[in-house]
Structure 1
């Protein structure tokens, strides 16, 4: 009995230590998934993460930071998570992944009436001029690895949309979930653009550092799976993305 008590005490202490460890969760300004409004964090993925904190009982602090800082910290330190993070083969080994928590498509869009028909990356390369894509985006990584010759890195999505608005580029590349907010930043709307070629389906996750305790990460995974089973995640997703397709919603609700 003494041995059993000792084992139970060790297990209890381990769980207590996990619960006591405060997670630092980093997010970026990426409407409508995550953003700050008058000093208050909001967004679809922020709402999901806040509910996960509540359900796991895990002490955690969410901080809005530039993407480069959050990405760097989430690769180096323990008890750190980064969201929303698109899971790609290039990033796979760098994190422990929880999700998906949202799903969309990365599409090329042209101006309505521009007369373009983009069916593949070869068509993108044949365009006059460059394809401007933010350097920090996963899609920039993907296109660079595929050797797209007219790829041009810009600092932010706002730079890309501004170039598009003023006719300096013929296409933009955008996540279908964030398209409306990106266009609104330059006074444009979805009905002014036409979807062309889909580069990839993008599933959005919470990315925990490799140094974060695996048992803690598993608690978050189970809590998210329960949100998918009881309909909580679906209700949040539908409220923020009424235009999302059935396919996108099914991807977001997939249990891993």
Structure 2
């Protein structure tokens, strides 16, 4: 659990002094407690500060809605269990499913994920449709869901424990194509001094905010309508473009 000083670092400086006063009173003074998990560059905790695309979206969303929040980095599985059991809490981003749908209230989409096939910069493949990638060795990572999806369609997929491992395997010719989320893949490539563009984009998924089923309905409605407005006025498009992907 983070201490008071760490919570302050997770918030915009302009709100820090206000939050200090709020933190010394009972926790219900914070409107919503949020959980997320580290996936670069969507959400990261670096040098005592939360950064990333998703964190910027949260700052804008709650500022527009005039609601306060705390953010804590917790593994997704643990966060889902906690949010399900305790009121006034939400976790994001979460993939909606039939099993989860009735267990939570939802604000969506807080994140848009586009998946594509990447090759070595020195290698190019003629990919027009998804089936064109079937002859090749494809790298993905456990837990992403994309590797399992491609396997279910009969593709040859090698699953690694992290997506970073697939970047290394691609450059060592151990796989032909890397199936990865576009923003994450470009971030990893850039960190290694390489510029990469997908050979093709083949899948889009949505990430949602899953909230306790007893969350204040007025807060839930306000967050959803505010998020809708952020898409309508172009804020979401601009921030994704800044991270290298158009939605």
**What is the TM-score when the length of structure 1 is the normalising length?**
0.69
CA–CA distance in structure 2, aligned partners of residues 70 and 21 of structure 1 = 18
- Give 3-state SS (helix, strand or coil) of 2:166's partner: helix
1:4 — aligned with what?
none
Segments of 5+ residues of structure 1 without an aligned counterpart are 1-18, 249-256
2:78 match: secondary structure = helix
1:125 & 1:230 partners in 2: Cα distance? Answer: 40
Compare 74-83 and 29-38 and name the one that shifted more.
74-83
Please name the residue that 1:169 is paired with. 175
CA drift at 1:150: 2.4
Can you list the C-alpha shifts for 1:85-113, whole angstroms capped at 9, x where unaligned? 45577865564332334435210111234
Q: Answer yes or no: is the 8 Å Cα contact 2:139–2:147 preserved in 1.
A: no
2:228 to 217, 225, 228: 225
1:94-109 alignment, distance < 5 Å: 95-109=104-118
Q: 1:26 touches 1:70 (CA, 8 Å); kept in 2?
A: yes
Which range is displaced more, 93-102 or 31-40?
Answer: 93-102
d(CA) in 2 for partners of 1:91 and 1:118?
Answer: 35
Measured in 1, the distance between the counterparts of 2:99 and 2:238 equals 31
Question: Residue 30 of structure 2 contacts residue 70 of structure 2 at CA under 8 Å; is this kept in 1?
Answer: no
Q: In 2 relative to 1, CA 150–237 (structure 1 residues): closer, same or farther, beyond 3 Å?
A: closer
Matches within 5 A, 1:1-256: 20=29, 22-75=31-84, 77-86=86-95, 95-127=104-136, 129=137, 131-144=138-151, 146-185=152-191, 187-190=192-195, 193-238=196-241, 240-241=242-243, 243-245=244-246, 248=247
What is the aligned length? 220
**Alpha-carbon distance, 1:43 to partner:** 1.2
8 Å CA contact retained: 1:86, 1:138: no
Structure 2 stretches lacking a partner, 5+ long: 1-27
Deviation at 1:75, TM superposition (A): 4.9
CA positional deviation for 1:231: 5.0
